[in-house]
A and B are shown apart, each in its own frame.
Chain A
Amino acid sequence: MKRVLLSMVLAAAPAVAAPIAITGATAHTARGEEVIRNATIIIDNGRITAIGAGLAIPAGATVIDAKGQPVTPGIVAVPSDLGLTEVGGVRETSDGSARTSPYSAALDMAAAINPGSLHFAIYRMAGVTRAAAVPDSGNAVFGGQGVVVSLAANGPTVTRPRAFQYVELGEAGARLAGGSRPAAYAQLIDLLDAAKRLAANPAASVGGDDSGSLVKRRDVEALLPVLSGAQSLMVHVERASDILEVLKLKGRYPALRPVLVGAREAWLVAAQIARAGVPVITHSLYDLPDDFEGLAASRNNAGHLQAAGVTVVLGPLGGVGGTTPVNLPGYAGNAVGQGTVPGGKGLTKAQALASITANPARVLGLADTGTLEVGKRADIVLWDGDPLELMSSPVAVWIDGAAQPMTSRQTLLAQRYKALGRIDLPLQYPR
């Protein structure tokens, strides 16, 4: 029933629409420090076909006057559990982890993605246009293959299946592997070395499929693109020494493309991370010694990494209560605020915007997403004020050039209960 209603709404916006011209925008393109004032952005067939100050508007285009307000690329949320988990506390609604599965690296999250999840509309209204659904390692250090999704109301939802592999090292990896960091590395190397043998010889015997096998052939096969560098490897680590261990893996597996996730102590080894060319996904608000692998946590982390030349992504990571992709602009804004504190290291506004748009897109291998430039997907957000400010909101969101509905289950609830009191019928009847 819900889907029928949704499609009725969307019928107003045909899949192949007339060109759209957003005029009079202040375009924050997420390309370096670039800001184009009085910008015109032409969208045709889902792509940005022109962007610049005072461009001519094509005949028949739908014109949106931005009235000087900011326009940015859509926000890219990584990591998230969008489409994997509906209610965290209700186990049967969550496909994020498989605690008793015999498989690990082979798990492909694309099979779980549920575009009917209510979170799509809530995140979308906040300007999030793409997200990476990341598995949570359940029974082994490898969690499986994550998927990049579009938040478009009319789909298609899966943008890029098997976009990356996920592995848990550090304290959590140690626990999953049997109780120590060396145990986690034994598991990791066992599988990656098996993948090496399989890559060299497709007929090689690399583990069985019976439940007693330490190594499952399907897991090994799933690691072939990791080994070849075709797929990046998201590695959750926090402690500086754990980060250095991950960087060493490139000696054993030269094509490996690690992406550090969490990385609260990354600032202590920022130069080494930069030299290795490894991107970092972290949270701008980590500043407590929550555990013994994050004792050096500081909100300066992103600023130090950026200054060292590391590609920084700010993600809606756990460990900060209430974290949600909805608040990514605020997290980015806080990274700017950090730079105003004496002794603080922050990001510029443009760097902060890139940390939630261009950088996550690049890390996810989305070459055609994350910036406002010709040829890119038209994932665009028009704001009513400074996009990083807490009191600003999107007024319009386009995904692949399609204007998105700006309602959610939350806005429907708010409307229902806006005026309380007893009337002719209970509030649960349509008004």
Chain B
Amino acid sequence: MRAILLLGIAGVALASVAAAKEKPKDVPASPPDVVRVGKDPWPSQYRPYPGQVTVIRGATIYDGAGRRIDNGMIRLEGGKVAEIGTSVAVPVGATLIEAQGKYVTAGIIDIHSHLGVYPSPGVQAHSDGNEATSPARPEVWAEHSVWPQDPGFSRALAGGITALHALPGSANLFGGRGVTLKPVYGRSVQEMKFPGAPYSLKMACGENPKRVYGSRNQLPATRMGNIAYARQLWSDAVGYKRRWDDYTKRAEAGTAKPTDAPRRELALDTLMGVLNGEILVQNHCYRADEMANVISMSREFGYKVTAFHHAVESYKIADMLKAEGICSAMWADWYGFKMESYDGIRENIALVNAAGACAIVHSDDENGIQRLNQEAAKAIAAGRRLGLTITPELAWTWLSLNPAKGLGIGDRTGSLEAGKAADVVLWSAEPFSVYARPTHVWIDGALMYDWGDPKRRPTADFELGQPGAGEVK
């Protein structure tokens, strides 16, 4: 059991090793009995499907890290990118795909999805994304709402998605934990979880929390109420962490018994994970001034915001976001549907990128996730109209490596580099063209989608035997 816990998060394992080294020699060999808050008590049971050694030859490659290789080659082997360049070894027996005129990219990663938690059909019985029973519900985990049979997973896969982050909704200031999934159908959500990916904490600013709770005559009814509520909870979390740190220190020194451990509070476990840097904050926030308030709050309590989501006003503070090292997850052109989206502009993504800040294209939508490449294309066009230079290979970082970093999995996926996961899409045409479609999608080197092979196109249980079954969607 302890071994599993330590494996969960590499940082935790390292910290334990360091602590062990500092122990004086006269401490007994058997470790003291220390109660710990599990970092990964519901670990992934995902196992990659079998893949073949595959070489794609002659394609233009956008590698997801900002590089372009013309007439490129890539070899997928053992679930990884084995080699990439203008020429790679072609082992005997490898599947060779001639891809002249076609394009290869890193798989698309959506950092903001509600697939599984708001599945199709979107009936009330399936509405599992907002635990809107208190402004703060950091104890709920999106994965416990995910319906693995959401038909949306198959559509996302067909759009070139190789990983996605399923988040709770934004009714609450603290919405709960998000989970990173692969669009690979499993019988349980555990079988879809991206192994070792950190949890996130979904937070929200602005209109939604104050509307939902204000309409019930309870805190928060205003933006100042939003911040006050959140500060109180962060303050509680700091105290909770202090109690656990103090107990752990004493237990490791052998001066505290297991029964001295603080009472577990699941809500505060999540916040303590954020304060410890193990859980990443994904913060729904539209307006620039509210993002600035959140940054101040994060400084006050000692945590970091990883990304602002739906950040339609990031262009107003792109320099600040660059300095803070905070990503912006954005739509290409959503605007005007609510007051806090009134100043949304089509140039937002391009301006964030131009300021040197981290730009991510996200969907927040079961349709949008199928075409994030098209959203990026519109953002490139808007930037160019403003006179900005944006190459397609650079723009692909908005779709793969930047969201991978924003999810804490950038060392494993998000770009086509030797040793990283073979999460790869082959496109029928230049992928920023409206006419382009994925023809093949590999996840961990396994061919999970082939547009020409009905046996490589999944159908969710729900869709079996329904009207229109069998039709290409």
A binds B: yes
Inter-chain contact B380/A391, CB cutoff 8 Å = yes
Inter-chain contact B473/A287, CB cutoff 8 Å = yes
The answer to whether B28 has its CB under 8 Å from any CB of chain A is: no
Q: Which of A10-18, A128-136, A295-303 contacts B (4 or more CB under 8 A)?
A: A295-303
Q: How far is the CA of A320 from the CA of B365 in the complex (A)?
A: 8
Inter-chain contact A87/B367, CB cutoff 8 Å = no
Chain B nearest CB, measured from A160 CB (Å): 25
Chain B nearest CB, measured from A34 CB (Å): 21
Inter-chain contact B471/A89, CB cutoff 8 Å = no
Inter-chain contact A389/B434, CB cutoff 8 Å = yes
The answer to whether A59 has its CB under 8 Å from any CB of chain B is: no
Q: How far is the CA of A289 from the CA of B207 in the complex (A)?
A: 30
Chain A nearest CB, measured from B205 CB (Å): 15
The answer to whether A337 has its CB under 8 Å from any CB of chain B is: yes
Given contacts A268-B467, A291-B122, A420-B318, contact A390 B434 (CB under 8 A): yes
Chain B nearest CB, measured from A418 CB (Å): 7
Given contacts A295-B468, A327-B333, A414-B347, contact A340 B473 (CB under 8 A): no
Inter-chain contact A288/B319, CB cutoff 8 Å = no
The answer to whether B152 has its CB under 8 Å from any CB of chain A is: yes
Q: How far is the CA of A289 from the CA of B464 in the complex (A)?
A: 12
Find the A residue at minimum CB distance from B288: A417
The answer to whether B89 has its CB under 8 Å from any CB of chain A is: no
Q: Which residues of B contact A300 (CB under 8 A)?
A: 471-473
Q: Which residues of B contact A410 (CB under 8 A)?
A: 335, 344-347
Given contacts A287-B473, A330-B374, A393-B381, contact A89 B122 (CB under 8 A): no
Q: Which of A143-151, A190-198, A341-349, A357-365 contacts B (4 or more CB under 8 A)?
A: A341-349
Given contacts A295-B467, A390-B378, contact A321 B435 (CB under 8 A): no
Find the A residue at minimum CB distance from B334: A322
Given contacts A291-B123, A292-B121, contact A337 B337 (CB under 8 A): no
Question: Out of A240, A288, A326, A344, which one reaches B367, CB within 8 Å?
Answer: A288
B392-418 interface with A by 8 A CB criterion: none
Inter-chain contact B451/A298, CB cutoff 8 Å = no
The answer to whether B182 has its CB under 8 Å from any CB of chain A is: no
Inter-chain contact B367/A296, CB cutoff 8 Å = no
Q: Which residues of A contact B368 (CB under 8 A)?
A: 321-322
A304-348 interface with B by 8 A CB criterion: 319-322, 324, 326-327, 330, 333-334, 336-337, 340-345
Find the residue from A333, A344, A417, A421 having the highest chain B CB count within 10 A.
A417
Inter-chain contact A341/B121, CB cutoff 8 Å = no
Q: How far is the CA of A390 from the CA of B432 in the complex (A)?
A: 7
Inter-chain contact B121/A289, CB cutoff 8 Å = yes
Inter-chain contact B315/A414, CB cutoff 8 Å = yes
Find the B residue at minimum CB distance from A392: B381
The answer to whether B355 has its CB under 8 Å from any CB of chain A is: yes
The answer to whether B107 has its CB under 8 Å from any CB of chain A is: no
Interface residues of chain A: helix, strand, loop or mixed (majority): loop
The answer to whether B342 has its CB under 8 Å from any CB of chain A is: yes
Find the A residue at minimum CB distance from B354: A418
Inter-chain contact A289/B462, CB cutoff 8 Å = yes
Inter-chain contact A420/B451, CB cutoff 8 Å = no
Chain A nearest CB, measured from B56 CB (Å): 19
Q: Which residues of A contact B434 (CB under 8 A)?
A: 330, 333-334, 336-337, 388-390
Q: Which residues of A contact B296 (CB under 8 A)?
A: none
Q: How far is the CA of A333 from the CA of B472 in the complex (A)?
A: 18
Q: Which residues of B contact A295 (CB under 8 A)?
A: 121, 463, 466-468
Q: Which residues of B contact A334 (CB under 8 A)?
A: 371, 374, 434
Find the residue from B317, B337, B467 having the highest chain A CB count within 10 A.
B467
Inter-chain contact A326/B345, CB cutoff 8 Å = no
The answer to whether A119 has its CB under 8 Å from any CB of chain B is: yes
Q: How far is the CA of A257 from the CA of B48 in the complex (A)?
A: 55
Find the residue from B344, B472, B473 having the highest chain A CB count within 10 A.
B473
The answer to whether A179 has its CB under 8 Å from any CB of chain B is: no
The answer to whether A155 has its CB under 8 Å from any CB of chain B is: no
Q: How far is the CA of A330 from the CA of B152 in the complex (A)?
A: 21
The 8 A CB mask of B447-473 against A (1 = contact, 0 = none) is 000011010000000110011100111
Chain A nearest CB, measured from B161 CB (Å): 14
9 CB-based A-B contacts, threshold 8 Å: A86-B336, A290-B121, A292-B123, A296-B468, A296-B471, A337-B437, A343-B472, A393-B381, A417-B351
Residues of B at under 8 Å CB distance from A? 120-123, 151-152, 155, 207, 315-319, 331, 333-339, 342-347, 351, 355, 363-368, 370-371, 374, 377-378, 380-381, 384-386, 428, 432-437, 451-452, 454, 462-463, 466-468, 471-473
7 cross-chain pairs, A with B, having the tightest CB-CB distances, nearest first: A296-B468, A333-B434, A321-B365, A89-B338, A343-B472, A390-B377, A296-B467
Add 7 more A-B contacts to A289-B120, A390-B377 (CB < 8 A). Answer: A330-B378, A330-B434, A337-B435, A337-B436, A391-B381, A393-B381, A414-B346
